[in-house]
Each structure stands twice: as structure tokens, then as C-alpha cells.
Amino acid sequence: MDYLAALFAPTVMAVAFCYLIITMIKSQGGANKYKEDAAVDAMEAARTGEGSPGARRAAD
């Protein structure tokens, strides 16, 4: 019975890890892809807005 107790935790962790990977793969693409793309576009727009010459002049 000790071998069952020793294998229980690693088995549970392996199953949980598999479900995590499956969930990550399923969440890629589809409707979620547009949300991710919009977030990346917003970050890029914010970064380029901070680096513009007008922003530097306003700070001076």
C-alpha cells in the first residue's frame, strides 16, 4: 500500500498538468485570438506613443 501512496501525488500532478496544457491549446485561436491581438496592438500603440518626439517635448 505504500507504493500507492507514493504514486498518488505524482499521478494527480501529471493529470492536472495535462488538463492545463489542453486548456492552453484550446484557448488559442478563435474568438480569443482577436482579444489577444487587440491587447498586443494596444500595447504597441502605447509604446510608440510614449516614444514620439511630441511626448519628449512636452516633458522638457
pLDDT tens-place string over residues 15-47: 999 999 999 888 777 766 777 788 888 899 898
Where do the structural domains in the chain lie, given as residue ranges?
3-48
Q: What is the pLDDT of residue 37?
A: 80
Cα 44 to Cα 32, 37, 41, 49: the distances in Å are: 19, 11, 5, 8
Higher-pLDDT residue of 47 and 59 is 47
pLDDT-based confidence at residue 51 (cuts at 50, 70, 90): low
